Amino acid sequence: MLHGPAAPVSEITPDIHRLIDDMVQTMYAAPGIGLAATQVGVPLRIFVADLSAGNRAGELITFINPELLEIEGTQHEDEGCLSVPGFTANVLRPSRAVVKGLDRNGDPQQIEGTGLLARCFQHELDHLDGRLFVDRLRGLTKDQILRKIRKLSKSGKW
């Protein structure tokens, strides 16, 4: 499921609200700063993000059917993923990203993120498009991570 594209949400129902609530609880429990529906086994275009990891009220962002409108600049920072626990790597991303979509109530929203928020938006959008941060890596770094994952998988520790 992590390598397949997510489908658009056609209607915001009570089930979608329950999914979003579950995603938020899962993200905070991990703890993480973002989570896509595909990461919890639901192939729908939804993600949640909160750079404070639940420590500051009012920072939770929910996107339904998000689209990346603009990107600009570059940042090369360490990145990890709740779907690839225990692994991090430097990933090149734009330093600014503008995303539009619907909030949890179905109202249109457009949010500009810079720095870590831009990285988070792009990371979660990648999930919705069937990509992991490891897919953005090249060369030795990617090979080392994939080799370690295969080894852990063979030993039953993954």
Question: Beta strands 34-36 and 61-72: pairing type?
Answer: unpaired
Cα separation, 86 vs 110, in Å, equals 33
Q: Is 11 annotated as catalytic?
A: no
Of 133, 116, 124, 140, give the one whose Cα is nearest residue 38: 124
Inter-residue contact 69 to 109 (CB < 8 Å): no
Residues, the chain: 158
Of 70, 72, 112, 124, the active-site residue reads: 124
With 0-12 / 13-18 / 19 or more C-beta atoms within 10 angstroms meaning exposed / middle / buried, residue 81 is buried
3-state secondary structure of 22: helix
Positions marked catalytic: 124
